[in-house]
Structures are given as structure tokens and as C-alpha cells.
């Protein structure tokens, strides 16, 4: 990772999330992956968000 202004590298990063990482229990207590658009935020704390984006689950 290259250090840039503010300590954040402007390059692109990628990672893969599978169904096991995105699943949740529904009202019937069955594991499910719900489709939709989800926000992702990265920071030192919830009060210090440094990067934000979205991902789509089809």
C-alpha cells in the first residue's frame, strides 16, 4: 500500500464475499442472502469514516 495524503492510497482494492459472509437469518430462522444495494464504510471508527462505497447483491 502506498502512503498518500491522509494515509489513504488512491488505488483500487478488491476482495470477494461469498454467500456465507452475506447470509442472515430470516423471520423463519432460515439462512438467506437478500438481494439489494448495501453500503460499506471503512475507517478508524464509526465517527471517522475514511472511505465509503456500495456493493450490489443480485
Contact call for residues 29 and 35 (beta carbons, < 8 A): no
pLDDT (0 to 100) of residue 6: 58
**What is the pLDDT, as a whole number, of residue 10?**
65
Q: Sketch the domain layout of the chain as residue ranges.
A: 17-57
Which pLDDT tens digit goes with each residue over 6-53? 566 667 778 888 999 999 999 999 999 999 999 999 899 999 998 899
- Grid coordinates of 33: 442472502
d(CA 15, CA 41): 14
In the predicted model, what is the mean pLDDT of the chain? 85
Q: How much is the pLDDT for 7?
A: 62
pLDDT bracket for residue 3 (50, 70, 90) = very low
Amino acid at each position: 500500500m502506498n502512503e498518500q495524503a491522509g494515509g489513504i492510497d488512491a488505488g483500487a482494492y478488491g476482495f470477494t464475499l461469498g454467500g456465507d459472509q452475506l447470509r442472515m437469518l430470516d423471520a423463519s430462522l432460515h439462512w438467506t442472502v437478500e438481494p439489494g444495494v448495501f453500503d460499506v464504510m471503512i475507517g478508524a471508527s464509526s465517527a471517522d469514516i475514511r472511505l465509503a462505497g456500495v456493493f450490489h447483491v443480485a
